[in-house]
Copies of this chain bind each other. A is one copy, B any other.
Amino acid sequence: MRRLEIVAVEGLPEIRPGDRLAPLLARCADLADGDVVVVTQKVVSKAEGRMVAVDPGDPAALAALIEKESVRVLRRRGDLVISETGAGFVCANAGVDRSNVPDGYVTLLPLDADRSARRIRDGLRASAGVEVGVIVSDTFGRPWRRGVTDVAIGCAGIAAVVDLRGTADALGRTLEVTEVAVADELAAAAELVMGKATGVAAAVLRGVDPSWFRAASVRAEIVRTPGEDLFR
């Protein structure tokens, strides 16, 4: 029987620039080899100092920051900008976000969230002696469907996409579909125990398919290039 367990990591302190996340996660979570640790972008950005002071009474300053974080604007409606970031993510307001951030500040996305994930993974090996996969998650909207879901913006030691091409379906024929974005599904699953309002910023998944653990990258595996994308 295949079984997966997801546990919220509780007790993390408010994260400040320069904090090392791995020892804090190791202290608050009971980790084992083969776990996947999902950490939200918000605490990763805070630890990496990706916070910027923005006058809450000056919408133009916020808009300028969103432009600066964008390499291409796809759509605008009122205050909302859907744009592509330097790392290739298409999301609202280029990932500039002020929820769960002290007043007068916003967070920016990590410069390289795959590297952020690798750093946490290496830190967990060093501080807790465990071999785990790490995913950095963020909350994105989608076209065509209301509501936000959490997706992976970085990963280390756990596949972003698992390629099922060439494997047989349950009736013995070759599958047509194919590449499953397991890192996004793991991020979404983790969000179910976190909740936006509770301040829980990480979760541990136990029971993940062992064959998915390998060197990996959200940017290389999940981010579509504009040329292959039908909606850019």
Residues in A lying within 8 Å of B, measured CB to CB: 1-8, 10, 75, 77, 82, 89-90, 97-103, 139, 142-151, 160-161, 164, 167-171, 173, 175-182, 184-186, 188-189, 191-200, 207-209, 221-224, 229-232
Contact = CB atoms under 8 A, between A and B. Distances in A.
Contacts of A177: 97, 99, 139, 148, 196
Contacts of A175: 99, 196-197
Given A145-B181, A180-B149, A197-B168, A75 B230 contact: yes
Q: Chain A interface mostly helix, strand, loop or mixed? A: loop
Contacts of A207: 193
A192 B75 contact: no
A41 B77 CA distance: 34
Contacts of A7: 1-3
B197 A192 contact: no
Contacts of A161: 146-147
A43 to B, nearest CB: 11
Contacts of A5: 3-6
Contact of A100 (B6, B169, B222): B169
B198 A229 contact: no
Given A182-B192, A189-B192, A170 B148 contact: no
Contacts of A199: 169-170
11 contacts: A2-B7, A4-B192, A100-B169, A143-B232, A145-B181, A145-B184, A148-B178, A148-B179, A184-B188, A185-B192, A188-B189
Given A8-B1, A77-B230, A143-B231, A185 B150 contact: yes
B191 A180 contact: yes
Given A147-B161, A149-B188, A231 B179 contact: no
